[in-house]
């Protein structure tokens, strides 16, 4: 029995996928039973790094997703449309889906998984988070019996690359972003990466699996790295931290029963001061890592290449092979494997950010007048913010620079204290406010 693939897209990931499928020597023998039947592209005459018979390429993507000979549709087009519509149409024609498209899954996952469940087909998406890093299937299968308390990831290679270079070279964000764009590490329009949107898509997907409930993307608090300055990186280093863009999904309080309607999740993406001894602190450059904490497993960290043609294709083809293996075992009359399919229907409750309890780092520019630190301390004290450290670090022009790190504090209280501090005569500005892991 040969399994026929309809490949939508022959760009970075599509090419890597075809290359693995066309070169099965030394890989799992099941790959020899998987055949690329049709390939959908935008420009069929473009030179390609992978050799396929020209008649297999088409611009008619609808014809691929409705082709009765095709068993599995591999969507590696990117973007929201036509990817979403083609996935839904393929499902309605009984095709199984493999996709690398986090943007579509994070926004339309509910619609797609409901349709797939009704039709009895799989939608697998290992490549959508962490590129080549196996994390989705391990969460579903190998860690499935754990009560997950948190999933914390560095899931965007572009921002990790920029922050790592800011750390090692001492440069400013805008200069390093421009250089990253020149070198191909950042897109011409870097918004999705540097504003944290891509990481928000990914943590929404990870959380929906880890916490067995749907996540509304609009519930994920999202801050990017544009406001991180060379000064903050340097102060963080002095205080024993590195700054990373973390995507966090966390149960508010570990609860003894699972799942319950009363579970509240924190869902947030923001630059974070990470203690230098923390396992995520050493993840540098374009690499990704996802730290999962569960009971009884404890901490498990997944680390590896978060993007790239080969690594991402490794995840895509593994998904194809998983589906082929299940179909081969079960035959035509297969019923969905409950550990590979998605069955949950409810939405997770997300706690408001004002209720978050965390440590903060803040940098103030103040007039060089006596008693400023005392005023700051008074305002913080009034709002129950206790300070772990206060560092008067010197001068920026004729303004004094003061950095504080708080103990754990309710975010709402901290924000109220900042409003009061901002109104003080002696305070010129508060250039940075960052959370601390
Ligand atoms: N690149 C990575 O490292 C990576 C990592 C993880 C996940 N992903 C995800 O994988 C997906 C694909 O990314 P990619 O980097 O491979 O993209 P890409 O290099 O831009 O390739 C996109 C492919 O889709 C085709 N295509 C796009 N829109 C089309 C349309 N409307 N009609 C017909 N063909 C169309 C393009 O055709 P032409 O070749 O004719 O232009 C191209 O072959 C995205 O969802 C991305 O987020 C990528």
**Hey, which residues are catalytic here?**
202
Q: How far apart are the CA of 79 and the centre of ligand 1, in A?
A: 8
Q: How far apart are the CA of 23 and the centre of ligand 1, in A?
A: 21
- Locate all alpha helices (DSSP H) within 229-302, ordered by sequence: 230-238
Ligand 1 binding pocket mutation candidate from 6, 10, 18, 41 (most atoms within 8 A of CB): 41
Q: How far apart are the CA of 196 and the centre of ligand 1, in A?
A: 20
> So what's the pLDDT on residue 395?
84
Q: What is the rounded CA–CA span in Å between residue 248 and residue 379?
A: 29
Q: What is the rounded CA–CA span in Å between residue 163 and residue 152?
A: 17
> So what's the pLDDT on residue 370?
83
> So what's the pLDDT on residue 117?
93
> So what's the pLDDT on residue 262?
58
Could you identify the residue written with the tokens 């309080």? 253
DSSP state letters, 157-197: HHHHHHHHHHHHH---HHHHHHHHHHHTSS-SS-HHHHTSH
Output the ligand 1 site: residues, CB below 6 A: 9-14, 40-43, 46, 59, 61, 76-78, 82, 100-102, 127, 131, 307-308, 312
Q: What is the rounded CA–CA span in Å between residue 198 and residue 283?
A: 18
Ligand 1 binding pocket mutation candidate from 15, 48, 78 (most atoms within 8 A of CB): 78
> So what's the pLDDT on residue 289?
98
> So what's the pLDDT on residue 377?
93
Ligand 1 binding pocket mutation candidate from 17, 20, 40, 42 (most atoms within 8 A of CB): 42
**Closest residue by CA, ligand 1 atom 4:** 307
Ligand 1 atom nearest the C-alpha of 10 is 43
- Tens digit of each residue's pLDDT, the chain (437 residues): 699 999 999 999 999 999 999 999 999 999 999 999 999 999 999 999 999 999 999 999 999 999 999 999 999 999 999 999 999 999 999 999 999 999 999 999 999 999 999 999 999 999 999 999 999 999 999 999 999 999 999 999 999 999 999 999 999 999 999 999 999 999 999 999 999 999 999 999 999 999 999 999 999 999 999 999 999 999 999 999 999 999 999 998 644 555 555 579 999 999 999 999 999 999 999 999 999 999 999 999 999 999 999 999 999 999 999 999 999 887 656 677 777 877 777 899 999 999 999 999 999 999 988 889 999 999 999 999 999 998 877 888 889 999 999 999 999 999 999 999 999 999 999 999 999 99
Could you identify the residue written with the tokens 């990117």? 78
Neighbours of 332 (CB within 10 A): 5
Q: How far apart are the CA of 87 and the centre of ligand 1, in A?
A: 14
Q: Report yes or no: 434 and 361 within 8 Å, Cβ to Cβ.
A: yes
| 252 three-state secondary structure | coil
Ligand 1 atom nearest the C-alpha of 128 is 7
**Closest residue by CA, ligand 1 atom 41:** 42
**Closest residue by CA, ligand 1 atom 18:** 11
Q: Which domains does the chain have, with CATH numbers?
A: 3-132+309-346 (3.40.50.720), 136-304 (3.30.360.10), 354-436 (3.30.70.260)
Q: How far apart are the CA of 8 and the centre of ligand 1, in A?
A: 8
Ligand 1 atom nearest the C-alpha of 13 is 16
Q: How far apart are the CA of 100 and the centre of ligand 1, in A?
A: 9
**In this structure, which long-range contacts are made by residues 372-378, counting pairs with CB atoms below 8 Å and at least 24 apart in sequence?**
372/400, 372/402, 372/426, 372/427, 373/402, 375/421, 375/424, 375/426, 376/402, 376/404, 376/421, 376/424
- Closest by Cα among 242, 210, 216, 214 to 139: 210
- Element (DSSP H or E) covering residue 207: helix 197-210
Q: What is the rounded CA–CA span in Å between residue 410 and residue 152?
A: 20
> So what's the pLDDT on residue 1?
60
**Closest residue by CA, ligand 1 atom 14:** 12
**Closest residue by CA, ligand 1 atom 5:** 307
Model pTM above 0.85? yes
């Amino acid at each position: 029995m040969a399994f026929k693939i309809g490949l939508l897209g022959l760009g970075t990931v599509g090419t890597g996928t075809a290359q693995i499928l066309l070169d099965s020597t030394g890989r799992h023998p099941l790959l020899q039973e998987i055949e690329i039947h049709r390939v959908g592209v935008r420009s069929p005459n473009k030179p390609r790094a992978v050799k396929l018979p020209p008649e297999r390429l088409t611009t008619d993507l609808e014809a691929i997703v409705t082709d009765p000979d095709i068993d599995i549709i591999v969507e590696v087009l990117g973007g929201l449309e036509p990817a979403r519509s083609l996935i839904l149409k393929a499902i309605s024609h009984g095709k199984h889906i493999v996709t690398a498209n986090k943007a579509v899954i994070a926004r339309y996952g509910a619609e797609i998984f409901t349709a797939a469940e009704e039709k009895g087909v799989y939608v697998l998406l290992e490549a959508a988070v962490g590129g080549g890093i196996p994390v989705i299937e391990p969460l579903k299968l190998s860690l499935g019996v754990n009560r997950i308390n948190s999933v914390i990831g560095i899931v965007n290679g572009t921002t990790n690359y920029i922050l790592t270079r800011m750390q090692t070279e001492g440069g400013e964000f805008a200069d390093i972003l421009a250089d990253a764009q020149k070198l191909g590490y950042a897109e011409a329009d870097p918004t999705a990466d540097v504003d944290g949107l891509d990481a928000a898509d990914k943590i929404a997907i990870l959380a929906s699996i880890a916490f067995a409930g749907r996540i509304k993307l609009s519930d994920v608090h999202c801050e990017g790295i544009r406001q991180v300055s060379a000064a903050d990186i340097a102060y963080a280093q002095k205080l024993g931290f590195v700054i990373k863009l973390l995507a966090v999904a966390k149960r508010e309080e570990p609860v003894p029963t699972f799942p319950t309607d009363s579970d509240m999740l924190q869902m947030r993406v923001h630059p974070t001061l990470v203690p230098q001894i923390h396992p995520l602190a050493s993840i540098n450059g374009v690499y990704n890592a996802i730290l999962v904490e569960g009971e009884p497993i404890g901490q498990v960290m997944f680390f590896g290449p978060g993007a790239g043609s080969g690594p991402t294709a490794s995840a895509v083809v593994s998904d194809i092979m998983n589906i082929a293996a299940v179909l081969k075992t079960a035959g035509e009359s297969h019923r969905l494997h409950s550990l590979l399919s998605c069955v949950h229907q409810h939405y997770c409750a997300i706690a408001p950010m004002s209720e978050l309890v965390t440590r903060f780092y803040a940098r103030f520019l103040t007039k060089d007048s006596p008693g400023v630190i005392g005023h700051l301390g008074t305002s913080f004290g009034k709002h129950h913010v206790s300070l772990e450290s206060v560092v008067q670090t010197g001068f920026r022009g004729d303004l004094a620079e003061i950095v504080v790190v708080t103990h754990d504090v309710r975010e709402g209280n901290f924000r109220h204290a900042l409003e009061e501090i901002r109104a003080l005569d002696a305070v010129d500005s508060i250039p940075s406010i960052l959370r601390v892991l």
